[in-house]
Amino acid sequence: MSLSRADFHEQNLESARVLAQSLFARKAVLQGAWLGWVASQIYTLRPAEYASMVRRELQRLQDSSEN
């Protein structure tokens, strides 16, 4: 039985947030190299829906750090 999109999102949101926070935390260390590094990390994530969730969480963290 496959999960509905909503169920998948609900079951994976917390881990996507935790992963995004951990990736975002490396930004200060990696500085200019971070963007390429984080893109390579996201590229390896499966399924694609999960990678998208992590990408959205990273964007949210980025936006909140700029404000």
**pLDDT per position as a tens digit, 25-60:** 999 999 999 999 999 999 999 999 999 999 999 999
20 in any annotated domain: yes
Residue 39 lies in a domain: yes
Residue 2 lies in a domain: no
- Could you tell me the two tokens for 43? 């590229």
Give me the number of domains the chain comprises: 1
Contacts (Cβ under 8 Å, ≥6 apart) of 56: 16
What is the DSSP-derived secondary structure letter of residue 3?
P
**Polymer length of the chain:** 67
For the whole prediction, is pTM greater than 0.85?
A: yes
